[in-house]
Amino acid sequence: MAAESAEKPEREGAWRLAGSSSVYLQSAREQAIDWYPWGEEAFEAARRLNRPVLLDIGAVWCHWCHVMDEGTYSDAEVARLIGQHFVAVKVDRDANPEVDRRYQRQVNALTGEGGWPLTAFLTAKGETFFGGTYFPAQEGLGRPGFRRVLLEISRLWRDEPEKVRENTRSLATALTHEHHGTGRTGGPSSSAFIDSVRASMLTSFDPVNGGFGTAPKFPHPTAISFLLWDSFSSGSEGSAQGARLTLSRMADGGMYDHIGGGFHRYSVDEGWHIPHFEKMSVDNAALLSAYAEGYRRFQDEGFRGVVRGTVDWMESTLADSNGGFGASQDADNAPGDDGGYFTWSRPELKAVLDPSELRLIARYFGVGSQGRMPHDPDRNVLFRLMTVEEAAEGTGLDATAARASLARALEKLQTARSRRSRPVVDPALYAHLNGGFIRALTAASVVLDDSRLLTVARRAADRFLAEAYSPSRGVAHRLGSDRAHGFGHLEDQAEFAWALVELAGQTLEPKYVSRAVELYELIGSKFRVEGMPLRDIAPDLYDGPSIGAVADPSFPIEDMPHLSANASVALGLLRLASLTGADRWRVEARELIGSCLARLERAGLYGGGMALAAGLSETEPIRIVVQGRAADARALWRAAQTAWHPNVWAFRETPPPPFSLPEELAAAATSPAEARALVCWGMRCAPPVTDPERLRSLVASRSAPGPAA
C-alpha cells in the first residue's frame, strides 16, 4: 500500500460528534481524537488518505467502554498515533445495532473475542483485518497496550499490505461459509428440536442458584418461558421448579436492585450476588414479562413485588414525559467509579439507619458476606440472604414488627441514595425497546390490577404510531426530537407488532390489531428471503449507509441472550392467530419456524425462543369470556385474567370484531345476570364455570374437557 499522506482536521478533537443525538457519542466530544460518526465521510477520508479505519463500538451503559474512553482514548500518545495513522470512527451500538451485529461477527471470527467496547481495524471498503475488545493504553490486565497495537497495525498496513489482504480474504471465506450454512434445508422436526433445547437447558441448569451455566451469569427470560411451557405441555414438575428457582434466586440476588427496583445487566458470579451495574431496557422489559408470567403461574407474591419494583424504576428513571421509555441507565456515576451509586459501606448504612434497623438490614442483606465488591471490600451489594423472619431472630422483633422496620429502613436508604450523583440515563426512544416495555406493562397491569399501567402502555404505543410509523415503511428504529429515523430494522417491527397484539388483547381496540397486521404483512414482503429466516434489515426500507459489512445479509435466529427477532415474529404471529382466530398467521409462524430450525440445530439454550415458538404452534390456545354483573363477577374476572396458560386470552363480555370467538362460545355469550365464565380450547368449549378456583384449574389443564352434557 502506498505511503499515507497527512491531513490535519479543520478543528481539534471530536468536534464531529458534538451535534450527535447519541449520549454515547456526545460523551467523547472532549477527547483529542478526530472521531467521525458512522457514515460515508469517514470511509472516503480513509480512501483519500490511504489509512486504515479504527472502529470503536460501544454504548453509554458500558462500564469498560468508559474505562477505555477515560484511560485509553484520553491518553495523549494514543490520540497522537490515531491522528497520525488512522481514520477513527465511533459508533453507538444502540443507535446502530446493524453495524454492531456485523462487526461483532467479524471480530469474533478473527479473534474469538466479542463484546463492548468492540475495537476493529478496517480497510476503506469496511473489511475487518484485525480487532479485539478493551485495550489499555499500555500493557496491563493481561491485555496488550493500545499504543503498541496502533504502532503494529500502522506498520502492518504500510509494510505488509498482502498480510492485510490475506486477513480480509480469510475472514470473507469463513463468513461466506457460515452464511451458506444458513441456507440448509431439512433439519430436525419441531419435537426433536424442542427435545434438544430442553436437554441443553437441563444440562447447563444450576440446581443451587438457578439460571444457566456459571460465572458470569446472564438472565435468560425466554428460557424461563420455555420451561414454563414445557411444564405445561409435558407435565414436567422439574421444568416448572427450574423456572421458579431461577426467578426466585435472581429476585433475591444483587442483580435485582432492592432499593430502587429494576435489574442490572448480569451477575459476575454464579450466585447472582454481584452485578454488572448497568440497567438496560431490553433486560428489564423481558424480565418484567417473565416475572408477570411467573406470578400468574405460581401465584408467588414475591414475584408480584418484583413486578411492582421494576415498574416503579421504569417510571421514575426511564419514562419520557411525552410517552415512551428511554434506553438504559449507566453503571457508573463518575470516571473511575464502579457501582458506587448502588453499593453501600457499613458506615454509610450506619449514618442512615438507627441501630435496630442496621442490625436487621445487615442480616437480611448479608452485609459483609458474598456481596462485598472485589475492588473495594468495604462496599456491599445488597442481596437477600434470608427471610425477614430469619433476619429478625435475635433482634427482639416479631415478624410483623420486623417487616415494618424493614420497610422503614428501605425507605430511608432510598432517600439517602437519591442524594447521590445518579448515573446517566440514555433517554433515546427505540422502537424495539418500547415494544418490549409496552408488552411488559400490559402484562404488569393485569398482575398488579392497575389499569393506569395500561394507559401508560397505550400512550407509548400511540406516540410511536403517530410519530414514527407508516404502513409502507413500518416503525422507525428511533423516535428523535425532530424526526423518526432508522427505518428497515426487523427487530423494531417484530417487537412493536407483538406489543400491539398484546395491547389489543387487553384494550379490545381494533386499531392496534390493524397496525399489527400491517406490520406483519410488511415483514412478510420486505424481510423474507425464500426458504430462509427473516433478514435483520430490509434493503428497500433501510435508510442508513450500506458501508462495508452492513451490505452483508444477517439472519438473527439465536437469542443472544435476548429474544431473537425471528423468534419474536413467530411468537407474535401465534398470539395474533389466537386473538383473531385467523389461521393464516399460525401458518406463517409455522413456516418461519421451519425455516429456522435447520440453522439452530446446535443452538441449545440460545434456541429457546424458537423452541418456545415451535411448542406454542402445537399448543391449543384458550379463550375465556366472563359474563354477568353480579357481585361475584369481579372475582371470576380476576381469576380469568391471572390464570396461567401458555396462550390464553380473557375477555369481559363478548369482544367486538376482529377479536374472534368460537361459534359455540359466541352463541352462548348472552350476557346473563349471574356471573359465569365460558372457556374454549380451539373450537371446543367447556360447560360454564362459576367458581374462580375451578376456572384456574380448568385453564391450567393440559387438554380440553369432554363435550358439554
Residues 656-673: tens digit of each pLDDT? 889 877 776 666 666 677
Q: How confident is the model at residue 631 (pLDDT cuts 50, 70, 90)?
A: confident
Classify the phi-psi angles of 141: left when phi > 0, otherwise alpha if psi is within -120 to 50, otherwise beta: left
Q: Tell me, which fold does domain 15-181 have in CATH?
A: Glutaredoxin (3.40.30)
What does the pLDDT read at residue 461?
Answer: 98
What does the pLDDT read at residue 667?
Answer: 66
Residues 6+ apart with CB under 8 A from 443: 288, 289, 292, 293, 502
Copy the grid coordinates of residue 379: 462496599
Cα–Cα distance measured from residue 251 to residue 267, given in angstroms and rounded to the nearest whole number: 12
Global pTM value:
0.95
Residues 573-606: tens digit of each pLDDT? 999 999 999 999 999 999 999 999 989 988 999 9
Task: Check pLDDT > 70 for residue 84.
Answer: yes
DSSP state of 401: H
Q: How confident is the model at residue 690 (pLDDT cuts 50, 70, 90)?
A: very high
Task: Check pLDDT > 50 for residue 387.
Answer: yes
Give the type of residue at 263: F
Q: If we measure between CA atoms, which residue out of 31, 56, 55, 42 comes closest to residue 7?
A: 42
What does the pLDDT read at residue 188?
Answer: 87
Task: Check pLDDT > 60 for residue 116.
Answer: yes
Q: If we measure between CA atoms, which residue out of 565, 702, 559 comes closest to residue 622?
A: 702
Cα–Cα distance measured from residue 119 to residue 90, given in angstroms and rounded to the nearest whole number: 10
Residues 286-302: tens digit of each pLDDT? 999 999 999 999 999 99
Q: How confident is the model at residue 18 (pLDDT cuts 50, 70, 90)?
A: confident
Task: Check pLDDT > 80 for residue 182.
Answer: no
What does the pLDDT read at residue 2?
Answer: 47
Rounded mean pLDDT of the chain? 93
What does the pLDDT read at residue 669?
Answer: 60
What does the pLDDT read at residue 406?
Answer: 97
Identify the helix (H) or strand (E) that includes residue 459: helix 451-467
Q: How confident is the model at residue 510 (pLDDT cuts 50, 70, 90)?
A: very high
429-617 architecture in CATH? Answer: Alpha/alpha barrel (1.50)
